[in-house]
Chains A and B, each alone.
Chain A
Amino acid sequence: MTLDSRVPEGPIEKKWDNARFNLKLVNPANKRKHSIIVVGSGLAGGSAAATLGELGYKVSCFCFQDSPRRAHSIAAQGGINAAKNYQNDGDSVFRLFYDTVKGGDFRAREANVYRLAQISVNIIDQCVAQGVPFAREYGGALTNRSFGGAQVSRTFYARGQTGQQLLLGAYQALERQIHAGSVTMYPRTEMLDLLVVDGRARGIVTRNLVTGEVSTHFADAVILGTGGYGNVYYLSTNAKGSNVTACWRAHKRGALFANPCFTQIHPTCIPVSGDYQSKLTLMSESLRNDGRIWVPKQKGDKRPPDQIPESDRDYYLERRYPSFGNLVPRDVASRNAKNVCDEGRGVGESGLGVYLDFGASINRLGRKTIEERYGNLFDMYQRITDEDPYKVPMRIFPAIHYTMGGLWVDYNLQSTIPGLFVIGEANFSDHGANRLGASALMQGLSDGYFVVPYTIGDYLATNKFPIVAESSSEVQQAVSCVHSSTKKLLSIKGKRTVDSFHRQLGKIVWDYCGMSRTAEGLSSAIDQIRELRNDFWKDVNVPGSGDDVNQSLEKAGRVADFFELAELMCVDALDRNESCGGHFREEYQTPEGEAQRNDEDFSYVAAWGYRGPGNQPDLVKEPLEFDYVHPSQRSYK
């Protein structure tokens, strides 16, 4: 199998224009005859469903939450990038493109990233028109801030709740279409399989999470905007419900999964405090604009922070990276935090933490300014830790936050299954091996508002869609698959809870496929995962029945998929004998301890095909070419 990325001809700044001209259009009168399923209602899924509804397609949108407004995009704090250059500081579409390709450590597809940078400016306009209350200057103009990894101020924000406000904009647009009758919403409904008929995606199998009813839904095309898989680590900044199930089941039906080992560790989270801990809380990266990160110079220095004089503090990021300082990209900041903790200089009871100190900024700018910028984040920190960050430095530690890997898609965001489109965090396309801050919201909305509504039209206009019979063998097989796996999970009635397995799986993945990885560790992780997966299928205890609300059953199905994904992540990490972005293999580092890429052998997207349980997956490579941004070693010194 070879992968056709379908990148359009022409110079990079013309590619999207050329593509839009060459994409076939669906006649307005025919649009209502085409049905589209959108799974997920976050920034990507919600904006796509709303836009496709506006265009006149017959849309069905599914989410497992009780309302589309609860999708996890809502938790994004910091902001959204756009190449508006409103601050007159030298930004441009090309610079945003350049930063994103470089920040992704040269493992993203140039053409997609350029399109993302172009569209970024339209997103801001759209969101402002919807009433998103972005921060403003006194004169009424939009204001910006700089964000991790960028030297220009291009990040738009709505206090520390940017994701919430953008999602509410998309949600309101979606509700408008629901009211207009162009979108049918199915909340509390989980996709459990993809219907592939005659080699094309033609629908989904769902379980109603209230009644337990399993149903089929047919359409001409299916769009997945179901987010990332960070919860494979159990402890992550993701919402508890975030899962890989929709993508994984599509993968098992033939969609290739690309770069699964590219996961992002966010440097500024509240450290773990106990075994009962159910999730990690992120503190927005914007805090690094005014906070200074340090640890004691001496190992095992247990003095309270205010008793450690300046001369005994090591502001290690400012020391090692004088030009970017505390604003180095996430992977660099996280790895450095791990290193100082490994050296025994970590702070807090567990020794797994570093200080993020606002003392200097409060002295310089005053408490009021800091309160205005980060008030809600400081409140949140205090609520969780019972410490006042205006007086005592925050303690932070890295946590898993975002996954760059995902289902492989071409330039049109279509997966390797014709008719299956994948958007937002669920696809792999734009962030390479590391995502820059404030780029996830940008990508979700770009894919949903401005890319997939055009590209899907080409697919619909150039194919025929015979009616799928409920009785066809493909449909019957998928439905019985869903029934039998539910029955199996409920019948084991072993001794251990789903959460206890998930926690143990997460620990394996974090220890061996987290911030730093080795060949030896990854091989051992694969064995451990397989063993634990066998135990899971023998000893899990899922109480209750499949006929009503059963949160344990929902979790069990998702954890079963995480087990399979976890193994693929390790296989991918083991296969990639280089370090790049968030993927740090200890064997491949520069003398200064930075990630060492191997462009000669690994400048490709690793897309994996499913070959049955326990079988080695197929590797298909999409070579990456860099015509506009010359690969160089990332340097933030």
Chain B
Amino acid sequence: MRMTLKIWRQSGPRDSGKLVTYPMDNVNPDMSVLECLDVLNEGLIEKGELPVTFEHDCREGICGSCGFMINGEAHGPMKATTVCQLTMRHFKEGSELVMEPWRARPFPIIKDLMVDRRAFDRIIASGGYISVGTGSAPDGNAIPVSKEISDRAMDAAACIGCGACVAACPNASAALFTGAKMSHLSILPQGAPERDIRALRMVSQMNAEGFGGCTNIGECTAACPKEIKLEVIATMNRDYTRGSWRERSSEITTITPFTEWSTGSKLQNDPISG
């Protein structure tokens, strides 16, 4: 197959970028979009040019590393599919694929198609867990969970944290991501004790990161490679409202967002008498 790739090239966070056109003559319909970029990169290196930087790891659609816009759609046109599993047979002979990084202020561009998604980690760090120390758990079967609840929790827990929801949203909202984690944990009995405070903390962090508000457009769920349902946002809103009413006295602090990549403070060792 013949295709034309138009790829966003940007050498660093502070540089301006531009779309560069690369004609491709020998695209095998069975290769994935990422394998197509591999082939392009091999050619670029052989010609003495710099290869396109893009994030990828497992290439089975589960690690959440990969993702960029293809012709304005997050992860391209195919439903429930990340770019690593999107094969070229889904594009027509001669078509033009415009590839751009996720565009959202909380996801600064690092290079070419690679962005910084640490904002997601900070949202989890703010409260996206059940506080249970290692060793203090009761027997697994001591907490019965109905199949229906367990299945619903699993549906929400399937999120891979790729960021497509943010990229697809006109407001760059992270409501689907945040709502998915909150739904996963708060509908399970194990997660119930921290339900209110978790909602307050995660929503506050989401706002502190600069993600936009949700206006129920639904682009996020349409773009989501794991088909996370819009209802997780309803759960988030309800938990947040409920939490705001019940936890009025709690002080909610947020983590200050940062974008630098310096190595930070190093470990010091305190000599102690052994």
Contacts and interface: CB of A to CB of B under 8 A. Distances in A.
A217 interface: yes
B161 A75 contact: no
Contact of B188 (A131, A142, A500): A131
Q: Which of A141, A176, A211, A548 has the most CB of B within 10 A?
A: A176
Given A129-B132, A129-B136, A383-B81, 7 more contacts: A74-B62, A129-B130, A164-B62, A276-B38, A383-B86, A464-B271, A548-B111
A558 to B, nearest CB: 13
B184 interface: yes
A139 interface: yes
Contacts, number: 273
Interface string B152-177: 01100110110000000000000000
B35 A128 contact: no
A138 B151 CA distance: 11
A114 B170 CA distance: 55
Q: Which of B85, B134, B139, B191 has the most CB of A within 10 A?
A: B134
A66 B118 contact: yes
B161 A69 contact: yes
8 contacts: A67-B117, A126-B132, A127-B140, A133-B150, A279-B60, A383-B85, A449-B135, A465-B269
Given A125-B139, A239-B57, A465-B269, A210 B129 contact: no
Interface string A213-249: 1011111100000000000000000011100000000
Contacts of B154: 133, 158-159, 165
A471 interface: no
A136 B129 contact: no
Interface SS of A by simple majority: mixed
Contacts of B150: 133-136
Contacts of B128: 172, 175
Interface of A: 30, 33-35, 37, 47, 50-51, 54, 58, 60, 65-70, 72, 74-75, 84, 86, 122, 124-131, 133-142, 158-159, 161, 164-165, 168, 171-173, 175-176, 178-179, 184-189, 203, 206, 208, 210-211, 213, 215-220, 239-241, 273-274, 276-279, 281-282, 379-380, 383-384, 386, 449-450, 453, 460-468, 495, 497, 499-500, 541, 543-544, 548-549, 551-552
Interface of B: 11-12, 28, 30-32, 34-36, 38-39, 42, 45-46, 48-51, 53, 55-65, 78, 80-81, 85-87, 89, 110-111, 114, 116-118, 120-121, 124-126, 128-141, 143-147, 150-151, 153-154, 157-158, 160-161, 184-185, 188, 190-191, 255, 261-274
Nearest 3 A/B pairs, CB to CB = A140-B144, A172-B129, A129-B137
A24 to B, nearest CB: 9
B267 A35 contact: yes
B130 A240 contact: no
Contact of A215 (B110, B157, B184, B266): B266
Contacts of B116: 66
A240 B56 contact: yes
A288 to B, nearest CB: 19
Q: Which of B12, B35, B147 has the most CB of A within 10 A?
A: B147
A65 B136 CA distance: 30
Contact of B57 (A70, A133, A134, A186): A70
B106 to A, nearest CB: 14
Given A66-B55, A131-B130, A133-B157, A219 B141 contact: no
A219 B265 CA distance: 13
Given A72-B63, A75-B62, A211 B126 contact: no
